[in-house]
Structure 1
Amino acid sequence: MKIRRAIEEDVNGIANVHINSWHTTYKGILPDQYLSSLNLEARRKNWLRNLKMLHNATFVAENAHREIIGFAAGGPEQTNDPHIQGEVYAVYILKEYQRQGFGRKMIKAVIHELIKMEHKNLIIWALKDNPSCGFYKALGGQVIAEKTVKMAGIELIEVGFGWQDIKDILLHL
């Protein structure tokens, strides 16, 4: 297992993980029709753009065959909340590699980058029904916010797990 900063050549692997992990994570939460419509080329273009962003902190996990099996991304908080500075935007791992420590290691890499960017606190948003919410609680996150989002034509609830001091999450990693 290797965790490293993502590069442009990784976009195919990241897009593949993104789509496949959405299929397994959000089955029963998002409509099957929506999940089956996810487009690899569109995700690839999206991630190519994301990796070129100035404040990008994206890391990938590779298996022994150097295949990308997970990714995590973060940067400045995206809603301009005056009280929150840093955000982990995404953490996705292929189902067969979950519960092996990859998520913790990737988040740790992102957090170290956010600290270098001088972010003092942190939020991670997740759909309320996402089975990974327990993971964020295990990392010391407290639900500090909740909002309704529209995805796939339906309204869902997102919860924001927060850390007042970004360094507190490192105690759990």
Structure 2
Amino acid sequence: MTEHEIREARLEDASALARLHVECWDETYRGLLPDSEIDARDYEVRLPQWRRMLQEASTRVAFAPDVGFAQSGPQRDKRLSAWPDELLALYTLHSAHGTGLGRALFERVRPERPFTAVVLAGNDRACAFYEKMGGQLIERRPEHIGHASITDLIYGFEGAAK
């Protein structure tokens, strides 16, 4: 198991989460997305997002300070109504890969009902992780992020055992 502390994120964590989100995007998506799209999602963009999400408290956020976070909540895509919840984010820094942190974060926010997770095509490490965690690829969908054309891979999961 992981040696990292994991706890529920609090409003005062917004700044740390914004910084970590930016760093994880840089490590994860450089080479998969145009640099301009990664650079456009900087600290000044992420900070108000995290403040708003933590104030609204409509999602569950597990936070491993300085190394990772995961977030789940209600399904945002009406086309995926068979999966009422969604894993909205799961990021760890490369330095934490292989430590069990990703699994621990995943389990901490895993919904009880069926849920989805969206992965950028080409993020093979994330695809392998989700498949190991029981996810089934249910759809490949062309999308856009900013001006970039991408393909999202949508994984479906059974909810957590009660």
With structure 1 as the length reference, what TM-score do the two structures score? 0.84
- Counterpart-to-counterpart distance in 1, 2:137 and 2:10: 32
- Could you tell me how far 1:33 is from its partner in structure 2? 2.7
Q: 1:145 aligns with which of 139, 142, 145?
A: 139
Q: Is the 8 A contact 2:63 2:69 kept in 1?
A: yes
Map of 1:48 onto structure 2: 51
Where in structure 2 are there 5+ consecutive unaligned residues? none
Q: Deviations over 1:80-125 (max 9, x none)?
A: 23211111000011121222111111111101xx32xxxx211111
Map of 1:65 onto structure 2: none
Aligned length: 157
- Counterpart-to-counterpart distance in 2, 1:78 and 1:7: 23
- Counterpart-to-counterpart distance in 2, 1:54 and 1:6: 10
SS of the residue corresponding to residue 19 of structure 1 reads helix
- Could you tell me how far 1:135 is from its partner in structure 2? 0.7
1:26-65 map, 5 Å:
26-62=29-65
- Could you tell me how far 1:36 is from its partner in structure 2? 2.9
- Could you tell me how far 1:54 is from its partner in structure 2? 4.0
With structure 2 as the length reference, what TM-score do the two structures score? 0.90
- In structure 2, the CA distance between the partners of 1:100 and 1:44, relative to structure 1 (3 Å rule), is same
Provide the alpha-carbon RMSD of the alignment: 1.6
> Is 1:154 the counterpart of 2:152 in the alignment?
no
1:161-172 map, 5 Å:
161-163=155-157, 165-167=158-160
Q: Is the 8 A contact 1:30 1:152 kept in 2?
A: no
- Counterpart-to-counterpart distance in 1, 2:73 and 2:40: 28
Identity %: 27
Q: Is the 8 A contact 2:37 2:145 kept in 1?
A: no
Where in structure 1 are there 5+ consecutive unaligned residues? 63-67
